[in-house]
């Protein structure tokens, strides 16, 4: 039904459009992508590949305009690890945080920069290359100032109007504008504060100045680090203590590349961190003779002599009339009441570094998504499948969609949202074009090898841990394997994927960190015993088995910190220092036994000789032999496996003269599984 409605709506919109882009013209598209940042271009690639009618609208003259300005000090903190010792492109994306997904194996960010932490100017260059080589449809200079919803034959579409009066009528709106409106807190004296977006970036401008920075995120520490060798002292003030990314595993927290001030703080070199509510403070100006508080004025940036200095005080110490205060005396300052108040000394500058928020102003009441309940309302509220709440047919992509996994995973960053964008595209294909979520059909005997391949190389679940997971729909003797489905949308699996569930149940494969609170760098921080895999602290694979699909109520009532409700059975694969889950005793054998428990099936793997013997001596050979050897699909078709088996001592050397034939019936999956199949074999079990 959605396919028919979308086609009707597209015809209506096409009939109303002139096809021209002049003033007051009206054009129509099936999909409108708002913003040519990385998320918008990523969606543009998928729409282009599926040959959909789309347009990407960008207000600036090129893609990725945010990165033309930010970060202000021009060093990205997204890892660009080129050398991994592997040639597996999927695995390497686990350590490439800047590239977008495409079918061009060379269209990677490393073509532009080979620095581990690249210069920010390199990213727009990469995005421009991405647009050019893939031929994406981008209209630059289209500054959308108004978005309203409109009803077309019972379906909600959207009309976007730019600065020239051109209207873009869309069946589906995909919002990928990111966050670019500076986050501000209203307090007395906020007019005296400089913004991160406008501060000078030359460290010499801060020579011998005392600086107070509001905020303790990466922009605050980036700013502090740039002036560390010039400012006389730097204090950072915000409600929360600093959160270190290597402790929280959240890449949006303070990264080590920006945290040199922690050294100068803890080694007592005049810098420091203080906690307090921003809403309770006031920034006041006081002349050296204790004169009047004055409004903001342009200050000299070359000398601090004779300049009025800024004091941090509390609103409760000021006159009850607040903004009407005309004079600030010593009694209005915290140091008068508490002589060792941390921030009692004056500052030459106060800088606001509080991050950014979503721009809600372009949406009228009919199209405006609600503010998110988390992230201090800075983001739009969206469903588990990234559709705006109360705004049907409008989906939010990229950083703006981070409310789904704020402070939990990497959905606010390129290396995370490139996968959520791909997931949204699959949802669009099912809803509007009746094309089901791509699935790989596997014999049950091959499931373990496929799982091992995914946990050892897949980049999507690895980057979007706890948010995207692989769904395995059990169908008896075979299964359907769906990759990277949004876990919080699991109750809507059949509707969103077009794949029905059977009474055989399902498995869900998730990458997740442990819930145990441990010293990240202390002793006992890791678990190495496979029998205690559930105590793993670092990122590791977890399998959940359900007889039936969890409900919305189940999702709401799941244990705190769990990505999914309690299952009928759960299996943790013990964390691995090398993030290689391929060892026979610690990884493969426990996984096989878990799958056998859930499926009530013998999943042991055998060589052709063993299958031949078992076929002669047993009325019911093992499932692996029935689905493989007896169908001419034995392991002997892969020469790499023979070599690995001989080197591992699993086969005698006299097999060395045997060369597997060119049997084309060998399953395609064996080309990828490599030693994963061999490592499960233990004839003593």
Domain borders along the chain are 26-181+357-426, 190-289+307-352, 437-599, 605-647
Can you say whether residue 35 is alpha, beta or left, with left for phi > 0 and alpha for psi between -120 and 50 degrees? left
Q: What is the pLDDT of residue 306?
A: 52
C-alpha to C-alpha distance for 446 and 440, rounded to whole angstroms: 11
Which residues is 56 bridged to in the sheet? Answer: 33, 138
CATH for the 190-289+307-352 domain, from 1.10.3720.10, 3.60.110.10, 3.40.50.2300, 3.50.50.60 = 3.50.50.60
Q: Which two tokens stand for residue 166?
A: 């051109």
| Residues in the chain where the model's pLDDT stays below 50 | 8-9, 11-20, 289-304, 322-326, 635-637, 654-685
**DSSP3 helix / strand / coil % (the chain, rounded to 5):** 35, 20, 45
CATH topology of 26-181+357-426 equal to that of 190-289+307-352? yes
Nearest to 610 by CA among 634, 633, 643: 634
Q: What is the pLDDT of residue 659?
A: 39
pLDDT of residue 153: 78
Q: Which residues pair with 273 in a beta bridge?
A: 236
Rg (CA), the chain: 29
Please give the pLDDT value at position 680.
39
Query: Can you give 631-678 as a three-state secondary structure string?
Result: HCCCHHHCHHHHHHHHHCCCCCHHHHHCCCCCCCCCCCHHHHHCHHHH
Using DSSP bridges, classify how beta strands 439-443 and 478-486 pair: parallel, antiparallel or unpaired: antiparallel
Helix (H, G, I), strand (E, B) or coil at 366: coil
Take residue 645 and report the two structure tokens written for it. 């088996």
The pLDDT assigned to 517 comes to 77
Inter-axis angle of helices 447-457 and 589-599, nearest 10: 130
pTM score, whole prediction: 0.86
Q: At the top level of CATH, which class does the domain 26-181+357-426 belong to? A: alpha beta
pLDDT at 303: 43
Q: Tell me if residue 212 falls in helix, strand or coil.
A: strand
The residue behind tokens 């309940």 is 373
* Residue 31 exposed, middle or buried by CB count within 10 Å (0-12, 13-18, 19+): buried
Give the Å distances, CA to CA, from 104 to 45, 454, 672.
Answer: 11, 21, 20
């Amino acid at each position: 039904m959605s396919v028919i409605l979308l086609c009707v709506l597209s015809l209506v919109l096409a009939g109303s459009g002139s096809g021209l882009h002049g003033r007051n013209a009206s054009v129509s598209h099936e999909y409108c992508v708002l913003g040519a940042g990385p998320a918008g271009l990523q969606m543009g690639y998928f729409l282009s590949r599926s040959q959909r009618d789309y347009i990407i609208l960008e207000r600036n003259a090129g893609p990725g305009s945010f990165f033309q300005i930010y970060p202000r000090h021009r060093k990205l903190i997204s890892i660009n690890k080129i050398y991994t010792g592997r040639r597996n492109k999927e695995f390497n994306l686990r350590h490439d945080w800047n590239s977008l997904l495409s079918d061009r194996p060379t269209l990677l960010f490393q073509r532009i920069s080979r620095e581990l932490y690249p210069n920010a100017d390199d990213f727009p260059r990469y995005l421009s290359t991405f647009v050019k080589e893939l031929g994406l449809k981008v209209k630059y200079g289209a500054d959308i100032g108004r978005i309203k919803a409109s009803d077309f034959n019972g379906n909600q579409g959207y009309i976007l109007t730019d600065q020239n009066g051109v209207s873009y009528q869309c069946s589906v709106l995909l919002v990928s504008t990111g966050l670019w409106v500076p986050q501000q807190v209203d307090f007395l004296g906020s007019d005296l504060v400089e913004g991160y977006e406008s501060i000078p970036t030359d460290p010499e401008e801060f020579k011998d100045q005392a600086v107070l920075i509001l905020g303790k995120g990466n922009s605050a520490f980036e700013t502090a680090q740039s002036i560390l060798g010039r400012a006389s002292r730097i204090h950072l003030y915000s409600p929360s203590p600093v959160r270190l990314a290597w402790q929280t595993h959240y890449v949006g927290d303070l990264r080590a590349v920006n945290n040199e001030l922690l050294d100068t703080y803890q080694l007592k070199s005049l810098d420091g961190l203080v906690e307090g509510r921003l809403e309770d403070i006031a920034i006041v100006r006081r002349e050296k003779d204790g004169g009047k508080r004055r409004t903001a004025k342009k200050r000299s940036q070359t000398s601090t002599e004779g300049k009025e200095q800024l004091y941090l005080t509390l609103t409760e110490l000021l006159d009850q009339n607040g903004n009407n205060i005309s004079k600030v005396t010593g009694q209005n300052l915290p140091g008068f009441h508490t002589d060792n108040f941390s921030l009692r000394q004056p500052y030459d500058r106060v800088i606001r570094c509080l991050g950014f928020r979503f721009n809600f102003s372009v949406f009228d009441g009919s199209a405006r998504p609600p503010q998110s309940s988390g992230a201090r309302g800075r983001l739009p509220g969206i469903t588990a499948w990234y559709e705006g709440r109360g705004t049907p047919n409008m989906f939010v992509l990229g950083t703006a969609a981070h409310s789904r996994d704020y402070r939990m995973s990497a959905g606010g960053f390129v290396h995370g949202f490139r996968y959520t964008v791909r997931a949204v595209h699959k949802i669009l294909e099912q809803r509007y074009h009746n094309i089901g979520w791509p699935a790989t059909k596997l014999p049950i005997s091959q499931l373990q090898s496929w799982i091992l391949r995914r946990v050892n190389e897949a980049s999507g679940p690895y980057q979007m841990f706890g948010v995207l997971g692989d769904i395995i729909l059990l169908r008896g003797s075979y299964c359907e394997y769906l990759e990277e489905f949004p876990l919080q949308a699991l109750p809507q699996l059949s509707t969103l994927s077009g794949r029905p569930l059977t009474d055989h149940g399902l498995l869900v494969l998730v990458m997740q960190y442990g819930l145990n609170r441990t010293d990240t760098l202390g002793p006992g921080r890791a678990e190495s015993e496979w029998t205690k895999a559930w105590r793993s602290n670092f990122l590791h694979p977890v399998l959940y088995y359900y007889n039936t699909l969890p409900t919305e109520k189940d999702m709401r009532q799941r244990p705190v910190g769990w990505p999914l409700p309690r299952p009928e059975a759960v299996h943790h694969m013990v964390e691995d220092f090398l993030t290689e889950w391929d060892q026979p005793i610690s990884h493969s054998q426990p996984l096989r036994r878990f799958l056998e428990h859930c499926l009530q099936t013998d999943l042991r793997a055998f060589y052709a000789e063993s299958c031949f013997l078992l076929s002669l001596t047993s009325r019911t050979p093992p499932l692996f032999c029935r689905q493989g050897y007896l169908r001419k699909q034995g392991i002997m078709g892969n020469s790499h496996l023979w070599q690995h088996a001989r080197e591992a001592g699993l086969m005698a050397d006299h097999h060395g003269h045997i060369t597997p034939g060119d049997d084309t019936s060998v399953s395609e999956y064996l080309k990828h599984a490599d030693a994963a199949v061999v490592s499960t074999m233990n004839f003593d079990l």
